[in-house]
Chains A and B, each alone.
Chain A
């Protein structure tokens, strides 16, 4: 197993912005965002680790179980930021379900990426699904005498709501598109550097960026038109 990869990825929190001084992009217009052409080797990648887990290497499996402790914690933080929409028992059950789902989907993980960032997207998606299911059950359990539909519980968590919706939608994108969106919009590195990191030409990175944005826009529109509980 690649111990270096374990130590490196185990020490980071999801994904972090690239450190170091920004370098001017080769094609900067007046006032355009400055993005670094960071070194291609700087990207943490859990692909070797995930391959080792899937190959049932004992240390990797142990490390994977340890790293999955993050799931109930993330759910706990998400739930607090969403106005505690789920109770403790629901949250505990969901934690188990998400961990098992992650294990089952592990062969869909595509690098270069950090495991925690990938797991976070799945966790957001399942959290929102669980909230929807809860709202639906609540509606069935308390029929109103006058035939009106009962309102879904309101929470004062609008920014968290949007951020979680976007994260959930990102989790359903083609991984190669999601990776470019992350590198460009979060790590803020140039398309040239993104191409180097992903081993594709700069123009391919740009194409994935635009297609990813388009797909994301479509998914968010679909979720919004689907009458998500607010």
Chain B
């Protein structure tokens, strides 16, 4: 039997746990339709993985609570408390009801701080500051599969935030087929949040491509751990 869209409802109920794999209705579809059988095989594995992951989380948290003080806990606490003592967390605090006076004061201080920052900005030379914090919400840096433009160019657009003293490098790798190793095609510093590869360049690339973006400091050194996107899904240049 070939796949029938009506099978999807059975698969849906299997995933939801509303229908058992051994139920007559499920067996009939899974035995007859190879596509459904394969879909359910991968979905069942995923569901098991998610359950195992939650169970792993429970055990890890239990064990973590029972641990004696691990190395670095005291230092981490000290650093966190120092941050908590000096840093405001503006987005949510500003929307809290009943805090109009605090809000006005906060805006006033913000305006003063912004004015001072402007003065400092114009007064100081533009030099990189090695101590500047470049921490991102690292996994927030995302490079989706690029857009094929009608001209034949490829437009790479990444999403995320980096600090002022950071640069983003776009890396593109290619290979002829899955058997070949990946070869670096492009390492491009991107000042804006997108970059276009010219049609002639795209035409010279092999069949399979992948890309990612990395955060680097002004000296071109890779920033601290994890400040990069995942590799994009493999895509074709044409």
Q: Which A residues are closer than 8 A to B by beta carbons?
A: 13-16, 25, 27-33, 35, 51, 53-56, 61, 64-65, 68-78, 81, 88, 91-97, 99-101, 103-107, 116-117, 120, 125-126, 129-130, 132-134, 136, 159-160, 162-164, 166-168, 170-172, 181-182, 184-186, 191, 206, 209-210, 213, 216-217, 220-223, 225-227
Contacts and interface: CB of A to CB of B under 8 A. Distances in A.
Closest 9 CB pairs of A and B: A92-B72, A129-B226, A31-B20, A226-B231, A163-B56, A54-B92, A186-B54, A166-B53, A73-B64
A65 B80 contact: yes
Contact of B72 (A95, A130, A216): A95
Contacts of B61: 13-14, 70, 74, 116, 120
A94 B60 contact: no
24 contacts: A29-B13, A29-B25, A31-B22, A32-B18, A32-B19, A54-B96, A68-B77, A72-B76, A74-B60, A95-B75, A96-B76, A99-B80, A103-B89, A106-B89, A126-B226, A129-B225, A130-B225, A160-B56, A163-B49, A163-B57, A164-B56, A213-B50, A217-B46, A225-B233
Interface of B: 12-13, 15-25, 42-43, 46-47, 49-58, 60-65, 67, 70-73, 75-77, 79-81, 83-84, 87-89, 91-93, 96, 99, 135, 137-139, 182, 210, 212, 222, 224-226, 230-234
Contact of A72 (B54, B70, B226): B70
Contacts of A168: 139
A223 B46 contact: no
Contacts, number: 230
Contact of B73 (A95, A106, A222): A95
B60 A120 contact: yes
A33 to B, nearest CB: 4
| Residue among B24, B51, B54 having the largest count of chain A Cβ atoms under 10 Å | B54
Nearest to B133: A100
Contacts of A225: 210, 231, 233-234
Nearest to B54: A186
B83 A103 contact: yes
A170 B53 contact: yes
B17 A35 contact: yes
B80 A96 contact: yes
B72 A72 contact: yes
Contacts of B182: 227
Contact of B17 (A32, A91, A101): A32
A131 to B, nearest CB: 9
A88 B225 contact: no
A95 B16 contact: no
A29 B3 CA distance: 23
A105 to B, nearest CB: 6
Contact of B15 (A76, A120, A164, A213): A213
A32 B231 contact: no
A40 B57 CA distance: 23
Nearest to B63: A77
Contacts of B25: 29
A216 B46 CA distance: 9
Nearest to A80: B63
Contacts of A54: 89, 91-93, 96
B58 A16 contact: yes
B233 A101 contact: no
Given A13-B62, A31-B22, A100-B83, 15 more contacts: A25-B18, A54-B96, A55-B99, A76-B67, A91-B70, A100-B79, A103-B83, A116-B61, A120-B57, A133-B226, A163-B53, A164-B53, A166-B52, A185-B47, A227-B231
A65 B81 contact: yes
Contacts of A64: 84
B52 A163 contact: yes
B84 A92 contact: no
